[in-house]
Amino acid sequence: MKWSRALIPTMRETPADAEIPSHQLMLRAGLIRKLAAGVYNYLPLGLKVLRKFENIVRAEMNLAGAQEVLLPTLAPASLWRQTGRWEAYGPELMRITDRHKREFALGPTHEEVITDLVRREVKSYRQFPLTLYQIQTKFRDEIRPRFGVMRGREFGMKDAYSFHTNQDDLDKTYWEMYEVYSNIFKRCGLKFQAVEAESGPIGGSSSHEFMVLAGNGEDLILACPKCHYAANREKTPVGYLKPASQEQLPLTKVATPGQRTIAEVSAFLKVQPSAMIKTLLYQGDGQTVAALIRGDRTLNETKLKNHLKVSTLVLANETTVREVTGAETGYAGPFNLGKTPIVADLSLAGRDNLVSGANENNFHYQNVNAGRDFRVEAYVDLANAEENDPCPKCEGTLSEMRGIEVGHIFKLGTKYSAALNATFLDEKGEAKPIIMGCYGIGTGRTIAAAIEQNHDENGIIWPLPIAPYQVVLTSLDPKYPEVNKASERIYRELILKNVDVIWDERDERPGVKFKDADLLGIPIRINIGKRKLREGKVEIRLRHDQSCFELSPIEVISRVQELIQTLSP
RNA sequence: CGGGGCGUAGCGCAGCCCGGUUAGCGCGCCUGCCUUGGGAGCAGGAAGCCGGAGGUUCAAAUCCUCUCGCCCCGACCA
């Protein structure tokens, strides 16, 4: 491609409504443009990247024996009603009505459609296992689309579904897919982490998420370097060392005028936050509950919600706190709470002589002891896991990292096959429900995540396998015939060698070209300038480490081919 | 859906509070000269339904009402 002919509308300034680096850079580098909230045009460069990623996905899926299909975006409501998801999916499901008043969903995922297809076409146990996948545009009417293509309302996704006659076979494919996903992200040159995950509203039992690691990722992950355990913060159980029991001292009320927060009281009374009880009042489905946790810990509302088996959980407002405790917020303690149930985090189990609020303004208690001074209904795991917590699986210590969820694999079991009556005949001629698995990768989102992971102040730094071009050939003095001639010769040779190259032959000053090349993030840059050329030299510069070396024009092609090898994971 | 904010040239913004020439600035774009190793310089130029509708007024980008769009925080979520 000649740059002068390409539609690459780069922007010098950052658009005001782009919040995170990947969104800003995708706009600035001319990969995407917004059409409406959460709806984006992919420009030529953006599409090139997307296709390169999709092709890696295809190659790896095919290698694992999966077969590609293309299912419609439009799905009849009747199918969705059969699984109950027409109602259950809620307003996030985009619905349309045709001229005959027939209702359709714009597919946010395709379990219904694929299960319907398979139930019609696959009947015998001999035809299993079967894995089908597609790369398709999906729709979800997100409450709040944001971060460009990271969370759009129309977005690209690869979704795969596997079909089995028994659980063992599903397990086998599940772990194959786990490997396939790992290979995909490895081949893209991305740093990633597979984590144990909640299975969410799609349903099913076991599930892993694949996270592209990035400093400002949305998800907090805890991983054990020793045993490779990794999970979302919500899911990570927290274990504590059993404290040595102390002699219980008499309960003492102390004045703590104006000291409300853990930090304030800790400083005022000169006690560690870990020797304090934080009393949090929640409304779980309208019922007030007191949740206790150690002062140095934060409560995980998902864990509390799961323990209480409630569907809504909110922190109680000030009025409720006053009614229940008789004091302003900041002085709550686990005493005299009447019928309010009290649950405590495991961090408090076996701990003696703690500090807590006194349920009286400007007073706290010291030497508070569970059992003697207050009752606890249950000790359960309620805390957010943190860096350096013990690993739940081995003797290791967890470290904390952030990631962006780009892939998710589930075991669905018979949830959809049962609802849609998708059965097969086994060896005995008996009809049994098909057992299913489901495996998704957000394609556009992976691109954004790749940028989030690989950029600097000058722009994107593409890993070579998904870079829009492998090489940018920059003619610094395109008006000089010798520069132009040498450039064109190298350009043609690179194309002949199947190198994906863009030739920047624009009549622009070198600075402009350098800035654009860096912004686009093309891994290998060849500079051809008149001064160096007269010395019989051209220059190669690598985007990722800014390293730079000179060589003769004859050596360039083979050197570039070598570099492509080296830069491919 | 709750809270906050923004819509003025392709992009980034000023002007609005306190109504009054021809609506301005930077970047980009076009023409010419000049320059050519990290977003040059000079000169000239094109480009605006001031988001939309209604109202107040002699007069509205500016004040009022409604509306549409967009962004941020939260709940929710891949």
Is residue A449's pLDDT more than 80? yes
Per DSSP, the three-state class of A560 is: helix
Length A41 CA → B10 C1' (Å): 16
Distance CA A380, CA A304 (A): 9
Q: Verify that A161 and A94 share a domain, yes or no.
A: yes
* pLDDT (0 to 100) of residue A126: 97
A7 falls within a domain:
no
- Complex-level ipTM: 0.91
Q: Identify the residues numbered 269 to 288 in chain A whose C-beta atom is closer than 7 Å to any atom of strand B.
A: none
**Residue A493 pLDDT exceeds 50:** yes
**pLDDT of A502 higher than 80:** yes
A357 & A440 share domain: no
Residue nearest to nucleotide B37 (CA to C1'): A510
Question: Does residue A238 fall inside a structural domain?
Answer: no
Residue A42, in any domain of the structure: yes
Q: Is residue A392 part of a domain?
A: no
Residue with the larger pLDDT of the pair A337 and A514: A514
| Whether residue A332 sits in one domain with residue A418 | no
Mean pLDDT, chain A, rounded, equals: 91
Which residues does A224 contact at the CB level (< 8 Å), separation at least 6? A230, A391, A393, A394, A396, A397, A398, A399
CA of residue A17 to C1' of nucleotide B72, angstroms? 9
Is nucleic acid strand B under 7 Å from A17's C-beta?
A: yes
CB A200 under 7 Å to nucleic chain B:
yes
Average pLDDT on A303-313 reads 79
A161 falls within a domain: yes
Residue A412 pLDDT more than 70? yes
* Percentage, residues of chain A above pLDDT 90: 60
Q: How confident is the model at residue A155 (pLDDT cuts 50, 70, 90)?
A: very high
Distance between the alpha carbon (CA) of A100 and the C1' atom of B7, Å: 39
Whole-angstrom CA distances from A241 to A79, A246, A355, A489 are 52, 15, 20, 69
* Residue–nucleotide distance: A478 CA to B25 C1' (Å): 34
Rounded Cα distance, A292 and A356, in Å: 10
pLDDT digits (tens, 9 = 90+) for A49-81: 999 999 999 999 999 999 999 999 999 999 999
Clarify whether residues A321 and A353 are in a common domain. Answer: yes
> Å from A509 (CA) to B40 (C1')?
8
Which nucleotide shows the minimum CA-to-C1' distance to residue A153? Answer: B78
pLDDT category of residue A199 using cuts at 50, 70 and 90: low
| pLDDT score, position A198 | 64
Q: Which nucleotide is nearest to A138 (CA to C1')?
A: B78
Is A296 among the domain residues? Answer: yes
Strand partners, A474: A504, A527
* Spatial CB neighbours of A14, under 8 Å, sequence gap ≥ 6: A24, A27, A28
Asked if strand B comes closer than 7 Å to A99 Cβ, the answer is no
Give pTM, 2 decimals: 0.90
Do A46 and A182 lie in one domain? The reply is: yes
Banded model confidence at residue A384, pLDDT cuts 50, 70, 90: confident
Chain A span 405-444 residues with beta carbon within 7 Å of strand B: 405, 408, 440, 442
Q: Picking from A156-170, A369-383, A451-465, which range would have the lowest pLDDT averaged per residue?
A: A369-383
For A270-320, give the secondary structure using H, E and C: CCCHHHEEEEEEEEECCEEEEEEEECCCCECHHHHHHHHCCCCEEECCHHH
Does residue A374 sit in the same domain as residue A420?
A: no
A275 part of a folded domain: yes
Output the six-digit token pair for A525.
């840059």
Answer whether any strand B atom is within 7 A of the Cβ of A260.
no
A388 within some domain = no
CATH of the domain at A323: 3.90.960.10
- Nearest-nucleotide field for A527 (CA, C1'): B37
Q: What is the pLDDT of residue A323?
A: 82
Q: CA of A94 vs C1' of B66, distance in Å?
A: 28
pLDDT in tens, A231-269: 888 788 888 777 777 889 999 999 988 888 888 888 889
A152 C-beta less than 7 Å away from strand B:
yes
Question: For residue A455, is pLDDT > 80?
Answer: yes
Nucleotides of B under 7 A from a protein CB: 1, 11-13, 26-28, 35-40, 69-78
Tokens of A449: 């995540």
pLDDT at residue A340 is higher than 90 = no
The structure tokens listed for A372 are: 């003697």
User: Measured from the CB, is A14 under 7 Å from any atom of strand B?
Assistant: yes
**Burial class of residue A360 in the structure, from the number of CB atoms within 10 Å of its CB (0-12 exposed, 13-18 middle, 19+ buried):** middle
Domain that holds residue A323: 256-380
Closest CA to A409 of A436, A439, A442: A439
| A339 SS3 class | coil
Tokens of A429: 């001629």
Tokens matching residue A133: 């996948």
Chain A residues 106 to 145 with C-beta below 7 Å from nucleic strand B: 140, 142-145
Point out the nucleotide closest to A537 (alpha carbon to C1′).
B37
Structure tokens at A206: 């076991």
Query: Which one, of A140, A104, A196, A163, lies nearest residue A391 by Cα?
Result: A196
The pLDDT, as a whole number, for residue A113 is 95
Question: Which nucleotide comes closest to A511 if you measure CA to C1'?
Answer: B38
Q: Which residue has the least CA–C1' distance to nucleotide B1?
A: A143
- The separation between CA A285 and the C-alpha centre of its own chain, rounded to angstroms, equals 29
d(CA A450, C1' B60) / Å: 49
Q: Which long-range contacts (CB under 8 A, 24 or more apart) does A354-358 make?
A: A354/A275, A354/A276, A354/A277, A355/A265, A355/A269, A355/A271, A355/A275, A355/A276, A355/A277, A355/A295, A356/A276, A356/A277, A356/A279, A357/A279, A357/A325, A357/A327, A357/A330, A357/A331, A357/A332, A357/A333, A358/A253, A358/A327, A358/A331, A358/A333
Residues A270, A193 within the same domain = no
Same domain assignment for residues A65 and A174: yes
Co-location of A345 and A424 in the same domain: no
Q: What whole-number distance in Å separates Cα of residue A560 and Cα of residue A537?
A: 15
A203 pLDDT band, cuts 50/70/90, is: very low
**Which CATH number do you get for residue A541?**
3.40.50.800
Tell me, yes or no, whether A35 and A180 share the same domain.
yes
Distance, in Å, from the CA atom of A362 to the CA atom of A330, rounded to the nearest integer, reads: 9
pLDDT value, residue A186: 97
pLDDT exceeds cutoff 50 at A469: yes
Give pLDDT, residue A205.
60
Q: What is the DSSP string of A27-48?
A: HHTTSEEEEETTEEEEPHHHHH
- Give the amino acid at A102: R
CATH of the domain at A94: 3.30.930.10
Nearest to A50 by CA among A179, A137, A159: A137
Interatomic separation, CA of residue A455 and C1' of nucleotide B41, rounded (Å): 32
pLDDT in tens, A75-105: 999 999 999 988 888 888 898 888 898 999 9
| Structural contact between residues A317 and A278, judged by C-beta atoms closer than 8 angstroms | no
Q: What is the mean pLDDT of residues A121-127?
A: 96
Q: Are residues A448 and A489 in the same domain?
A: no
Q: How far is the CA of A91 from the C1' of B55 (A)?
A: 37
For residues A505 and A442, state if they share a domain.
no
* pLDDT > 90? residue A538: yes
3-state secondary structure of A519: helix
Q: Which distant-in-sequence residues (6+ apart) come within 8 Å of A259 by Cβ? A: A265, A268, A269, A330, A362, A364
Domains: count for chain A:
3
- Its sign, for the CA torsion A475, A478, A483, A484, is positive
What pLDDT does A202 receive? 47
Q: What is the pLDDT of residue A201?
A: 45
